[in-house]
């Protein structure tokens, strides 16, 4: 915790501003004021950062490295202030200077180096590791362009590049002296020296990996860990270009472009495998740079390579960093001269893997020919791993060729990354109980029977520091006034709040806080979309990536149905609702983009119809991102978690909403099940097919969406409305959604769950009318959300997977 008072902070800030801008604070622009504050906070952080690194160097604690293609950090200023324990002091200091801290915080660009849940989870984990005194660091790519910015123009998604580095990034520190070389292409020369086979990589294309470090500040504990992101640069310097003759010059430019493309842009796909060579390059680039620097650092401080497994843990976030396995083998064998068996033992004990999805279309596999050419030495190692593994299988499963070929790492001309990750790591985990069970019993059953001990569950979590303390200060105040501050370090202490819920005064306060947050969001909606919404209506929210399995279409159909009912009966007695959507669609995912258009069309129709104007409103907000989530979530009454059961591995927004006192309407999917177990059935609204029913339909058939539709007059009307011009003069506009629901038999059971969903929404309507009980439900959700803090999750990873020291026990 930083020991600084308001006056000192004021003085430091004015001085910093002057230094940076050569003018007085009062003459500065807001952006300059933000930058100066950011630079000042970075200065405050640096002392503790240096000390933390020193401490790590001199201690024998295991260092954990979290390898991830994505880190969705959002903004950092507010978090850094909060974790340093000076956000309040800073607010007061700035107030006295006539500056609004929150306004400055709003000027920071989001660091959007991730697609969705997987990248945000990585960011929450970094925060928890630092706050729990765990030496845990991130390793990833410093994409020049992050996840695209989404504009909704004429109801359609338009993608704009996210040039997040346009303004100065005050948080990162370039560490040129820590650069590494990563090698692509070329050939491998094999020779025997002193009776030992040696492999030399020749004629390769070298790429300079340049690290940028960002501090990860722990909560009031003086710990600052590191997120290291790698940028790809050409090896030779600019000057060399001028000395080339014309032919070489063009070649040099080609080289420069090809190298820089590696860290140019984040792939805007999630849950969809993109078999592109550039993606493979990205994956190898950052794992190779990361591992080389880890081993180099380890040896520099006198570490014995044979003890590496006791001193470091490498965690791979989904299969994207799986090349860490053969790369570590390469370093240990070719650079450190260890034999295969020793290198294998170390690698297996060091690496652990998390699976984040069962969607088949997200399973990474690389064409052998492409892989071999790009990574010749790595290919040799993967081939050897596969041969040894298959030999084991032949001995164990005599004659069971189907099973062996399913499990093989290389097969059908592809390298299967999940198989490699399972075979070569000591731990494989899913991200919620149901998801882990599906991995064990279904998707990865062959491997589970072979290695039952490797499989385990680690239900996801979210950092309550960002997702409660920072984004909902009023609720935080109410909590500390009632139950004290212990929940901040021990989030399950939030349970103490439950006993206050009998107090009507507290329930009214909860309602007032929600209303205040809704007012703020209403203003934001008006400012960005020009739509007036009623803060006294139910804020009914579905914000997440747009994807068929998340079923935004189910939400659309029920709004269309409610609209029809209201038109038929203008006196229909419903609690007014505001339906809020936000989310990006992958640029190449037609159905998802079409869904955004449908939402926009419904919004257009409904919002312009005076007959329903006091009852329902529909809003599709632009550019969903971390900082927008921080505004929407505290203002939500009803959280929509309506994925097809079995498809959402966990979900994490479900946890954020409950922590901010929203009631959830959900299918029994992912972590929704565990949320229900915590709050009990009375405090959540559940509907829809269960996992067994869904899996049974997938396996044995028996579902006909046409039959469901033909037996439900509402659905007949609604599906017709999709293609009869009701929502767009161009009748073909939503043909694709119509086809998916009917001609392709509704893969995600939208029509099947429709009736139950509507009934569940009616229950919500009734529950909300009993305002006092509704507030109790909200309170119970808050009180039981502590278990979903990522602190709990990280403790489970630390003890159950990484075997890292658990110093947080002293907290």
**443 forms part of the interface with ligand 26V (CB under 6 A):** no
Residue 357 touching ligand 26V (CB under 6 A): yes
Stretch binding ligand 26V (CB under 6 A), from 38-46, 246-254, 264-272, 682-690: 264-272
Q: Interacting stretch for ligand 26V, rule CB under 6 A, among 90-98, 282-290, 355-363, 449-457?
A: 355-363
Tokens encoding 251: 């070649």
Question: Does residue 648 belong to the site contacting ligand 26V (CB under 6 A)?
Answer: yes
The binding track of 298-337 with respect to ligand 26V, each residue x by CB under 6 A or -, is: --------------------x-------------------
- Please state, in angstroms and rounded to a whole number, the distance separating the CA atoms of residues 651 and 550: 10
For residue 611, with 0-12 CB atoms within 10 Å meaning exposed, 13-18 middle and 19 or more buried, which class applies? exposed
Map residue 284 onto helix, strand or coil.
Answer: helix
Q: Assess whether 356 carries a catalytic annotation.
A: yes
Least distance (Å) between residue 259 CB and ligand 26V: 21
Nearer to ligand 26V, 274 or 369 (CB): 274
Q: Which of the ranges 112-120, 153-161, 205-213, 334-342 carries the binding residues for ligand 26V, by CB under 6 A?
A: 112-120
Check the CA dihedral 593-319-629-578 and report its sign.
Answer: positive
Check if the beta carbon of residue 110 is closer than 8 Å to that of residue 626.
yes
Nearer to ligand 26V, 52 or 354 (CB): 354
Catalytic-labelled residue, pool 16, 514, 656, 752: 656
187 interacts with ligand 26V by CB under 6 A: no
Q: Which stretch binds ligand 26V (CB under 6 A): 272-280, 307-315, 563-571, 760-768?
A: 272-280
Determine the Cα–Cα distance for residues 182 and 560; give it in Å rounded to an integer.
54
Cβ proximity of 315 and 65 under 8 Å: yes
The one-character DSSP state at 742 is: T
By CB under 6 A, is residue 650 in contact with ligand 26V? yes
Contact flag: residue 362 with ligand 26V (CB under 6 A): yes
- Is 652 a residue of the active site? yes
Q: Which of 137, 544, 558, 784 is catalytic?
A: 544
From 125-133, 171-179, 650-658, 800-808, give the range in contact with ligand 26V by CB under 6 A: 650-658
Three-state SS sequence of 524-575: HHHHHHCCCCCCCCEEEEEECCCCHHHCHHHHHHHHHHHHHHHHHCCCCCCC
CA–CA dist 570, 555 (Å, integer): 21
545 is annotated as an active-site residue: yes
CB of 308 closer than 8 Å to CB of 294: no
Closest distance to ligand 26V from the beta carbon of 122 (Å): 9
Among the listed ranges 110-118, 189-197, 227-235, 718-726, the one in contact with ligand 26V (CB under 6 A) is: 110-118
Binding residues for ligand 26V, rule CB under 6 A, total: 24
Q: Which of 171, 232, 208, 206 is nearest to 45 (CA)?
A: 171
Of 41, 72, 118, 325, which one interacts with ligand 26V (CB under 6 A)? 118
CA R_g for the chain: 27
Phi, psi (5° rounding) for residue 618?
-125, 135
Which residues inside 665-704 make contact with ligand 26V, applying CB under 6 A?
A: 670
- Interaction between residue 269 and ligand 26V (CB under 6 A): yes
Using the minimum distance from each CB to ligand 26V, give the nearer residue, 449 or 590.
590
How many Å apart are CA 447 and CA 444, to the nearest integer? 5
- Give the x-and-dash track for 403-442 against ligand 26V (CB under 6 A): ----------------------------x-----------
Which of the residues 87, 320, 356, 615 is marked catalytic?
A: 356
Of 281, 440, 470, 545, the active-site residue reads 545
Does 19 help bind ligand 26V (rule: CB under 6 A)? Answer: no
Instruction: Collect all residues with Cβ–Cβ distance below 8 Å to 412 and sequence separation of at least 6.
Output: none
Report d(CA 147, CA 156) in Å as an integer: 18
Please state, in angstroms and rounded to a whole number, the distance separating the CA atoms of residues 346 and 289.
19
If binding is defined by CB under 6 A, does position 481 make contact with ligand 26V?
no
Least distance to ligand 26V, CB of residue 202, Å: 31
Beta-ladder partners of 227: 138, 214
Positions in 456-475 near ligand 26V (CB under 6 A): 460
Based on CB atoms, which residue is closest to ligand 26V, 627 or 652?
652
Contact with ligand 26V (CB under 6 A): which of 179, 226, 271, 627?
Answer: 271
Backbone angles phi, psi at 196, to 5 degrees: -115, 135
Question: In the annotation, is 544 catalytic?
Answer: yes
Closer of 318 and 791 to ligand 26V (Cβ): 318
Element (H, E) at 123: helix 117-131
Q: Which of 356, 742, 748 is nearest to 552 (CA)?
A: 748
Please state the length of the chain.
811
Closest residue to ligand 26V using C-beta atoms: 117
* Cβ within 8 Å of residue 64, ≥6 positions away: 129, 134, 135, 136, 137, 312, 313, 315, 798, 802, 804
- Contact between 115 and ligand 26V by CB under 6 A: the answer reads yes
Residues catalogued as catalytic: 356, 544-545, 550, 652, 656
Binding residues vs ligand 26V (CB under 6 A):
115-118, 121, 267, 269-274, 318, 356-357, 362, 431, 460, 648-652, 670
């Amino acid at each position: 915790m930083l020991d600084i008072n308001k006056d000192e902070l004021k003085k430091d800030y004015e001085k910093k501003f002057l230094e940076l801008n050569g003018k007085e604070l009062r003459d500065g622009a807001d952006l300059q004021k933000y930058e100066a504050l950011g630079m000042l906070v970075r200065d405050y952080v640096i002392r503790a950062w240096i000390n933390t690194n020193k401490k790590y160097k001199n201690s024998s604690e295991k260092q954990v490295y979290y390898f991830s293609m994505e880190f969705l950090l959002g903004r950092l200023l507010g978090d850094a202030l909060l974790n340093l324990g000076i956000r309040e002091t800073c607010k007061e200091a700035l107030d006295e200077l006539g500056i609004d801290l929150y306004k400055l915080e709003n000027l920071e660009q989001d660091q959007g180096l991730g697609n969705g849940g997987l990248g945000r989870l990585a960011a929450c984990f970094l925060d928890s590791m630092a706050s729990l005194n765990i030496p845990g660091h991130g390793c990833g790519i410093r994409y020049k362009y992050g996840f695209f910015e989404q504009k909704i123009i004429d109801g359609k998604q338009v993608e704009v590049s996210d040039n997040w580095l346009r303004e100065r990034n005050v948080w990162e520190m370039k560490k040129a002296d820590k650069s590494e070389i990563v090698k692509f292409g070329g050939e491998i020369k094999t020779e025997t020296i002193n009776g030992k086979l040696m492999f030399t990589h020749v004629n390769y294309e070298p790429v300079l990996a340049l690290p940028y470090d960002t501090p990860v500040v722990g909560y009031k504990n003086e710990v600052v860990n590191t997120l290291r992101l790698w940028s790809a640069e050409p090896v030779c310097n600019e000057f060399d270009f001028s000395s080339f003759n014309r032919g070489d010059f063009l070649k040099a430019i080609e080289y420069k472009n090809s190298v820089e493309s590696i860290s140019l842009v984040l792939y805007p796909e999630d849950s969809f495998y993109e078999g592109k060579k550039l993606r493979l390059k990205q994956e190898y680039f950052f794992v190779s740079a990361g591992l080389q620097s880890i081993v180099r650092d380890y040896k520099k401080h006198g570490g014995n390579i044979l003890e590496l497994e006791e001193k470091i843990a490498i965690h791979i976030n989904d299969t994207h960093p799986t090349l860490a396995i053969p790369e570590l083998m390469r370093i240990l064998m070719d650079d450190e001269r260890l034999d295969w068996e020793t290198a294998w033992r170390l690698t297996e004990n060091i690496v652990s893997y998390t699976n984040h999805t069962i969607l088949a279309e997200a399973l990474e596999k690389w064409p052998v020919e492409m892989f071999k050419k790009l990574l010749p030495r790595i290919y040799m190692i993967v081939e050897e791993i596969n041969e040894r593994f298959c030999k084991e299988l032949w001995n164990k499963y005599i004659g069971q060729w189907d099973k062996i070929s399913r499990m093989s790492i290389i097969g059908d001309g592809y390298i299967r990354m999940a198989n490699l990750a399972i075979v070569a790591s000591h731990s494989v985990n899913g991200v919620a109980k149901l998801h882990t069970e599906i991995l064990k019993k279904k998707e990865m059953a062959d491997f589970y029977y072979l290695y039952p001990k490797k499989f385990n569950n680690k239900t996801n979590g979210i950092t309550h520091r960002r997702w409660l303390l920072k984004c909902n200060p009023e609720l935080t105040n109410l909590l500390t006034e009632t139950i004290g501050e212990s929940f901040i370090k021990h989030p399950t202490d939030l349970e103490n709040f439950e006993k206050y819920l009998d107090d009507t005064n507290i329930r009214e306060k909860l309602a007032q806080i929600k209303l205040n947050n809704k007012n703020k969001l209403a203003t934001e909606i008006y400012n960005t979309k020009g739509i007036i919404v009623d803060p006294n209506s139910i804020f009914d929210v579905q914000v997440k990536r747009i994807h068929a399995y998340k079923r935004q279409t189910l939400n659309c159909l029920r709004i269309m149905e409610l609209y029809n009912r209201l038109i038929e009966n203008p006196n229909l007695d419903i609690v007014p609702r505001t339906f809020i959507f936000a989310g990006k669609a992958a640029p190449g995912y037609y159905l998802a983009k079409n869904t955004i258009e449908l939402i926009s069309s419904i919004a257009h129709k409904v919002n312009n119809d005076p007959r329903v104007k006091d009852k329902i409103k529909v809003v599709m907000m632009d550019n969903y991102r971390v900082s927008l989530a921080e505004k929407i979530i505290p203002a939500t009454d009803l959280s929509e978690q309506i994925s097809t059961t079995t498809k959402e591995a966990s979900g994490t927004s479900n946890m954020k909403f409950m922590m901010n006192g929203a009631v959830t309407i959900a299918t029994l999917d992912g972590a929704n099940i565990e949320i229900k177990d915590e709050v009990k059935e009375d405090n959540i609204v559940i509907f829809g097919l269960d996992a067994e029913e869904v899996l049974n339909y997938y396996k044995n058939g028996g579902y006909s969406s046409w039959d469901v539709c033909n037996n439900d007059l509402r659905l007949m009307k609604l599906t017709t409305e999709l293609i009869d011009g009701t929502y767009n003069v161009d009748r073909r506009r939503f043909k694709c959604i119509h086809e998916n629901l009917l001609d392709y038999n509704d893969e995600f059971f939208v029509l099947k769950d429709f009736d139950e969903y509507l009934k569940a929404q009616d229950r919500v309507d009734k529950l909300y009318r009993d305002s006092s009980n509704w507030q109790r439900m909200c309170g119970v959700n808050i009180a039981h959300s502590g278990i979903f803090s990522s602190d709990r999750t990280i403790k489970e990873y630390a003890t159950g997977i990484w075997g890292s020291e658990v110093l947080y026990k002293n907290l």
